[in-house]
Structure 1
Amino acid sequence: MTRNPGKPASPADLRALDIFEFATSGRQAAGALRISQMPRMLAEVPSDVSDVSDASDASGNPAAGEDDTVFTWQAEGSTQPELQDDGVEAPQPYLRLAVHGSVWLRCQRCLSPYSQHLDVDATYRIVATEEEADEYPLDDDEVEVIVGSRQFDLIDLIEEELLLSLPLVPKHTVCPEVHESLLSGSAEGSADDESEENSAADAADKPNPFAVLEKLKPGVSGGGKH
């Protein structure tokens, strides 16, 4: 997307954007954000990813290291007619946001860093108050609701969407290797299982103390009253 003429979108503008004017004017904007500009996203990156090779991998993923992690974004404002409470249709503000890029995470299976691609493509209905947001019908899964303002932080919205796109359990599709701690854990688990089996076998060989008590009950052979 390209910006409308005469409407620059500097980083300062993105932190204090008149989102209603952006939508009603049908403005468009595009840019790039480094992960260092998004502290909550930066906190999700392993501190030692800079130890990974600086070269891009065979799949074309960006080089490791927080300075090289860049997300491209595109935003477009628009209006759509909606039926109001008085039965009259009126244009209402909408925002479409697309974000693409990769972030380095730690695989929870092999414990090594890997590049996770993230894609965001979201459409928002812009409302003026929290009350309107709470009352807005949620029958359209393709549209989210955000509370707009004349000082809207678009970068914060981009960061929020990227955080929501992170996997719950980061991991490779196929791990290049298994971490040695996981291997040793499996060996210890096997040893524990074998120990439990031996203990169960030893317990089976021991006489049951309750069997002796059974013989002492009245009416049991060898255990009657004298």
Structure 2
Amino acid sequence: MTQNPGKPACPADLRALDLFEFAQSRRQAAGGVRASQLPRMLNEMPADAPDRDTVFTWQAEGSTQPELQDDGTEAPQPYLRLAVHGSVWIECQRCLSPYSQHLDVDATYRIVATEEEADEFPLDDDEVEVIVGSRQFDLVDLIEEELLLSLPLVPKHDVCPTVHESLVSGIDGTIGDESDEGAANDEARPDDTMVKPNPFAALSSLKQGGSDDKKH
């Protein structure tokens, strides 16, 4: 993608950005967006999180790339690159306590004009996504969408600081006594000192009986 400082985008444009002009002019923009501006992200954050208004930093860059058309000629087509970084408090599914999860987004989009064009667009490059652009494009909504997609499927600490009471053993929610548990295991375990019957002993006696009958 062509690197060009271009014309910086005004932050006021972010909710109604002319995405086609942004790409064709190779403009760039950067800034920060707070979690309080992202209602769907707020729904993912636990109520007891230490900070529910963290800041995500983002950078956006527009560009064009020549592509072969149906008539055999090449024409510049609009592209957008978006990077977002930051941390969000979410709930660990193992200990059910909040923890800070770092999120990184680095995505490249081919901009098309309609949903029909997006559905028919051939994706030869898995690293490039397709989005429908407009003259009133909501870039903050795209930032939120990418952050949601980057959340882990099963959020959890690397090492949980505590164990939730629902995960410990014992009827009363406490860890069971090891001696009692050991005794129960001993009762369930077969006695190693018992002599197991030999499955071939009965067959041997039958053979011996048969031999005696032949002697008479």
TM class by smaller structure: 0.7 to 0.9
Secondary structure of 2:44's partner? coil
Question: CA offset at residue 36 of structure 1?
Answer: 0.1
Which residue number in structure 2 is paired with residue 111 of structure 1? 96
User: CA, structure 1 residues 2+112, in 2 after alignment: closer, same or farther (shift >3 Å)?
Assistant: farther
TM, length-normalised to structure 1: 0.72
Provide the identity percentage.
Answer: 78
Aligned residues: CA RMSD: 2.4
- 2: CA distance between counterparts of 1:31 and 1:96? 14
Deviates more, 1:95-104 or 1:174-183: 174-183
Question: CA offset at residue 3 of structure 1?
Answer: 6.7
**2:118 aligns with one of 133, 154, 167:** 133
Tell me if structure 2 keeps the 8 A contact 1:3–1:30: no
- 2: CA distance between counterparts of 1:2 and 1:170? 38
Secondary structure of 2:124's partner? coil
**1:146 aligns with one of 131, 135, 152:** 131
- 2: CA distance between counterparts of 1:172 and 1:152? 36
- 1: CA distance between counterparts of 2:129 and 2:45? 27
User: CA, structure 1 residues 88+2, in 2 after alignment: closer, same or farther (shift >3 Å)?
Assistant: closer
Question: CA offset at residue 27 of structure 1?
Answer: 0.2
- 1: CA distance between counterparts of 2:158 and 2:64? 40
- State the one-letter code of the partner of 1:133: A
**1:182 aligns with one of 155, 167, 191:** 167
Which residue number in structure 2 is paired with residue 66 of structure 1? 52
Question: CA offset at residue 8 of structure 1?
Answer: 4.2
Deviates more, 1:172-181 or 1:25-34: 172-181
Question: CA offset at residue 49 of structure 1?
Answer: 1.0
- 2: CA distance between counterparts of 1:132 and 1:98? 25
1:13 is aligned to 2:21 = no
Question: CA offset at residue 111 of structure 1?
Answer: 1.1
Question: CA offset at residue 105 of structure 1?
Answer: 0.5
- State the one-letter code of the partner of 2:138: D
Question: CA offset at residue 180 of structure 1?
Answer: 2.3
Secondary structure of 1:22's partner? helix
- State the one-letter code of the partner of 2:18: D
Question: CA offset at residue 181 of structure 1?
Answer: 2.2
Uncovered stretches (5+) of structure 2, i.e. residues with no partner: 189-216
Residues 50-96 of structure 1, C-alpha deviation per residue, up to 9 Å, x if partnerless? 3xxxxxxxxxxxxxx113x0100000000000000000000000000
Tell me if structure 2 keeps the 8 A contact 1:3–1:29: no
Which residue number in structure 2 is paired with residue 41 of structure 1? 41
Secondary structure of 2:14's partner? helix
Tell me if structure 2 keeps the 8 A contact 1:2–1:29: no
Question: CA offset at residue 177 of structure 1?
Answer: 2.2
Tell me if structure 1 keeps the 8 A contact 2:5–2:26: no
Q: How many residues align?
A: 177
Question: CA offset at residue 139 of structure 1?
Answer: 2.3
Secondary structure of 1:49's partner? coil
- 2: CA distance between counterparts of 1:29 and 1:109? 39
- 2: CA distance between counterparts of 1:121 and 1:8? 19
1:165 is aligned to 2:150 = yes
